[in-house]
Amino acid sequence: MKRRGIYGSGSIEQRKPNLFRLTFYVKGVRQREWVTGTRSDAARRLRELTARADAGEHVRTSGLTLEAWAKEWLLLLSRGEHGSVRRGGLVSPRTYERYEELLRTYVLPALGHVALQKLSPPRSITSISTSSAGCR
């Protein structure tokens, strides 16, 4: 008899030995992730993903890099004409200039190529600290 999980908990499908496909839903949209290891590793990862989705922490998988996101974020903060919309901006021009400088100098050279989905605090800290070690 096939084991059934709780409704909304997602599913685990074994595709090859030690290769599992996880399927779960976030706001009605199907998400999939591949896991290598044992079935218990896959079940643990599925529980983690569904808990993050329930807490609203799920970031949809995309190819968006930190550099592309930073450009969008800076555009949001900036003042002036953007298309046909004139905005007052969310920060002063000097603050915008400083944010742009810090991103350009420290963050983007170390992490600009990384997809947002792959970013984690330990990776960010180690990448930035090793890249800025020669700057002092």
Instruction: Tell me the pLDDT tens digit for each residue of 101-121.
Output: 999 998 899 888 888 777 777
Model pLDDT, residue 38: 94
The CA distance from 12 to 24, in Å, is: 9
Band (46; pLDDT cuts 50, 70, 90): very high
Domains in the chain, number: 2
Q: Is residue 98 one of the residues assigned to a domain? A: yes
Q: Is residue 71 one of the residues assigned to a domain? A: yes
End-to-end Cα, the chain, rounded Å = 64
Task: Give the burial string for 79-93 (b: 16+ CB within 10 Å, else e).
Answer: eeeeeeeeeeeeeee
Q: Is residue 17 one of the residues assigned to a domain? A: yes
The CA distance from 120 to 136, in Å, is: 25
Domain of 99, in residue numbers? 66-135
Residues 16 and 75 placed together within one structural domain of the fold: no
Residues 39 and 86 placed together within one structural domain of the fold: no
pTM: 0.51
